[in-house]
Amino acid sequence: MTTEAEAFKAKGNEALKAKNFDEAIKMYTEAIKLDASNHVLFSNRSAAYLMKGDAESALKDGEQCVSLKPDWPKSYSRHGAALHKLRRYEEAEKVYQAGLQQFPGDATLSSALKSVQDEARTAPPPAANPFGNIMARLATHPKFSTWIADPNIVAKIQMLQTNPNSIQMMLQDPSMREVLSAALGISFGGPPGAEDGASPMETDGAPPAAAAAKQPKPEPEPEPEPPRELTEEEQFAEETKAVRERGNAHYKKKEFQEALQCYDQVIERDPGQVSVLNNKAAVYMEMKDYDAAIKQCEEAVEKTKELRPTPFDVLAKIYVRWGKVYAKQKDLATALEYYAKAQMEFSTKETERLIKTTELEKRKADAKAYINPELAAEAKERGNTAFRAQDWGTAIREYEEAIKRDPSNPAYHNNLAATLCKVMDFQGAKKACEKALDLDEKYVKAWAKKGDIEFLQKEYHKAMESYQKGLGIDSENKMCREGLQKTMYQIQAGSSSGEVDKERAAHAMADPEIQRILTDPVVRQVIQDLGSSDPVAQQAGQRAMLDPGMSAKIQKLIAGGVLQTR
């Protein structure tokens, strides 16, 4: 295939995956123009046509695929699938059987054949065409026997036979209305032949009413057919299947030795059933004999690759089993390698999910294996040295290394927060403080650092809370006391100046808690009463402030710069 044709094919594949069938067909068509001898292009375009619902076009490409590559099982799959869609069951069955003659035991063809046979058995019989014998009836009619020599009449009758739904159009023609009335014995808008005495045609010498009254005798129930005798090959296959099912039953009961014996018998009887070797690997895995399981997987892969055509879906299942053996031994890296091999052979959603979950497990396992408190303490000391030297980049790397080595130590997160503040990454610093407090909510240094960050961001109402929480744990903590004092000073200074700090107010208004307070109708009434010139209203507001909860809400609004005092 030329490079340009390969590019069109790739675009077609992408469009097909996205269910953009028209675009896929267009791309495959362009590729075919460049390489009309490539069977894969016709196969892919046949699939696109079928998904779009154009079974006729899919059939043409399927036939071309068989013509170009008769020694490829998918050619027969495409051809048969199109016939199946068109409900041409007999033809589809013959195509699948022809494919199985060349590729005995092919799973895809066998499954498709069974599907078409099942559907053919349950499909309703085609409806009888009421216009199928009109010509014969007209030939014996005294008046209309001469009409069938008229090419126009014959053409219209043939159209009806081909498409019975065109009857409404035919009834618009008086001549056809008269012909149909006579042939079918039905009046279409008036007695046919009223002018010349013509009468509806009788089919068996009896009036239509009498003919309709005749009831056919019920046919006797058919005798049940005796069961078909199996051939020697079929009998052997059934016996082999029974042995395999016994092995599966033993496996489910954890009777592992008995299961292995049954699976060995299956392989002796039919070496082509390589999937049984995968079953044996599963047994060894359950027995925790991982070396035997790996050896069995190796043998299964070798035997499967020897088969022609190669059952890639079975090969993929063996690789998945192989990966699971390594996963059981906690060797997740090797397990992922085998899962990837499985996807290369036969991609499935199940294996894709397995890869994602194993990757997640591996990341967790790697992080856990990396933990070492002693090395974490060394990294922290290196970080402290860099911090004192104002080498902020090195300090951040060392503190992050300390966290990886010992993620449960809140001090490392707090040190990282202090360093991130130096590079003006206040959001990252705040997250580091919150992580430290998640690990130890009584870690006062983290409350002090969190308050400092909120103070720098002019979120005074939050800073005040953080310092107060720190003092609630250690009332003598110098950092929290000094932080609270400077915060209260800034709040009072802002209130006494009479000027609105827009940045501070914007930060406060973005706080969901401030928003909830402002939408509380009781709070809004208290604010209105306190600001009123009416003495009665002022007294009501002052009484409301005696409530600790209400007082705290009003103070939070003042601290946030949302509410000004005079």
* Count of beta carbons in the 10 Å neighbourhood of residue 489: 10
Tell which wins on pLDDT, 526 or 163: 526
Please state, for a pLDDT cut of 90, what percent of the chain lies above it. 36
Would you state the torsion angle of the CA atoms of residues 95, 99, 100, 101, taken in this order, to the nearest 10 degrees?
Answer: 100
Q: What is the mean pLDDT of residues 305-313?
A: 86
The stretches of 71-173 forming alpha helices (DSSP H) are 73-85, 89-102, 107-122, 134-139, 151-162, 167-170
The 3-class secondary structure across 168-228, one letter per residue, is HHHCCCHHHHHHHHHHHCCCCCCCCCCCCCCCCCCCCCCCHHHHHHCCCCCCCCCCCCCCC
Q: What angle do CA 218, 224, 228 make, to 5 degrees?
A: 150
Mean of per-residue pLDDT scores for the chain: 82
Is 474 in a helix, a strand, or coil?
coil
Of the listed ranges 360-369, 397-406, 519-528, the least confidently predicted one is 519-528
Rounded Cα–Cα distance for residues 509 and 196 (Å): 97
Instruction: State yes or no: pLDDT of 88 exceeds 90.
Output: no
Distance, CA of 27 to chain centre = 26
Task: Specify the pLDDT at position 223.
Answer: 44
Of the listed ranges 13-17, 296-300, 506-510, 550-554, the least confidently predicted one is 506-510
Q: What is the mean pLDDT of residues 196-218?
A: 42
What are 166's two structure tokens? 């065109």
Instruction: State yes or no: pLDDT of 205 exceeds 90.
Output: no
- Contact, 456 vs 433, CB < 8 A? no
The stretches of 221-348 forming alpha helices (DSSP H) are 232-252, 256-269, 275-286, 290-306, 312-328, 332-345
Q: What is the mean pLDDT of residues 442-464?
A: 90
Instruction: State yes or no: pLDDT of 546 exceeds 70.
Output: yes
The stretches of 423-477 forming alpha helices (DSSP H) are 426-439, 444-456, 460-473
Which residue, among 510, 517, 499, 500, has the nearest Cα to 556 in the 3D structure?
Answer: 517
Is 563 in a helix, a strand, or coil?
coil
Q: Quick one: DSSP state of residue 149?
A: G
**Per-residue pLDDT tens over the stretch 246-279:** 889 999 999 999 999 999 988 888 888 888 899 9
Radius of gyration from C-alpha coordinates of the chain: 43
Of the listed ranges 42-51, 156-165, 540-549, the least confidently predicted one is 156-165
Task: Specify the pLDDT at position 232.
Answer: 66
Rounded Cα–Cα distance for residues 318 and 173 (Å): 70
Confidence of residue 207 (pLDDT cuts 50, 70, 90): very low
Class of residue 536 by CB neighbours under 10 A (exposed 0-12, middle 13-18, buried 19+) = exposed
pTM beyond 0.85: the answer is no
Q: What is the mean pLDDT of residues 386-404?
A: 94
Q: Quick one: DSSP state of residue 106?
A: -
Rounded Cα–Cα distance for residues 447 and 463 (Å): 9
Q: What is the mean pLDDT of residues 236-250?
A: 87
Distances 16 to 11, 28, 324 between C-alpha atoms, Å: 9, 10, 32
Confidence of residue 553 (pLDDT cuts 50, 70, 90): confident
**Per-residue pLDDT tens over the stretch 108-153:** 788 888 888 888 887 665 555 566 666 667 766 777 767 767 777 7
Task: Specify the pLDDT at position 191.
Answer: 41
Would you state the torsion angle of the CA atoms of residues 141, 143, 145, 151, taken in this order, to the nearest 10 degrees?
Answer: -140
- Contact, 65 vs 79, CB < 8 A? yes
What are 9's two structure tokens? 């094919």
Task: Specify the pLDDT at position 451.
Answer: 92
**Per-residue pLDDT tens over the stretch 467-521:** 999 999 999 999 999 999 998 888 777 665 556 566 666 766 777 877 888 788 8
Task: Specify the pLDDT at position 206.
Answer: 40
Task: Specify the pLDDT at position 281.
Answer: 93
Distances 453 to 55, 416, 430 between C-alpha atoms, Å: 68, 13, 7
Confidence of residue 405 (pLDDT cuts 50, 70, 90): very high
Q: What is the mean pLDDT of residues 521-547?
A: 81
Domains in the chain: boundaries: 3-122, 140-192
Instruction: State yes or no: pLDDT of 193 exceeds 50.
Output: no
- Contact, 78 vs 47, CB < 8 A? yes
Instruction: State yes or no: pLDDT of 182 exceeds 80.
Output: no
Rounded Cα–Cα distance for residues 53 and 500 (Å): 68
Task: Specify the pLDDT at position 228.
Answer: 46
Task: Specify the pLDDT at position 400.
Answer: 94
- Contact, 335 vs 358, CB < 8 A? yes
Q: What is the mean pLDDT of residues 441-445?
A: 93
Q: What is the mean pLDDT of residues 352-371?
A: 91
Is 92 in a helix, a strand, or coil?
helix
Task: Specify the pLDDT at position 411.
Answer: 94
Rounded Cα–Cα distance for residues 41 and 34 (Å): 11
Rounded Cα–Cα distance for residues 30 and 52 (Å): 18
The architecture in CATH of the region 3-122 reads Alpha Horseshoe (1.25)
Q: What is the mean pLDDT of residues 42-51?
A: 89
Instruction: State yes or no: pLDDT of 225 exceeds 60.
Output: no
Of the listed ranges 183-192, 260-269, 299-308, 377-386, the least confidently predicted one is 183-192
Distance, CA of 248 to chain centre = 31
Instruction: State yes or no: pLDDT of 162 exceeds 80.
Output: no
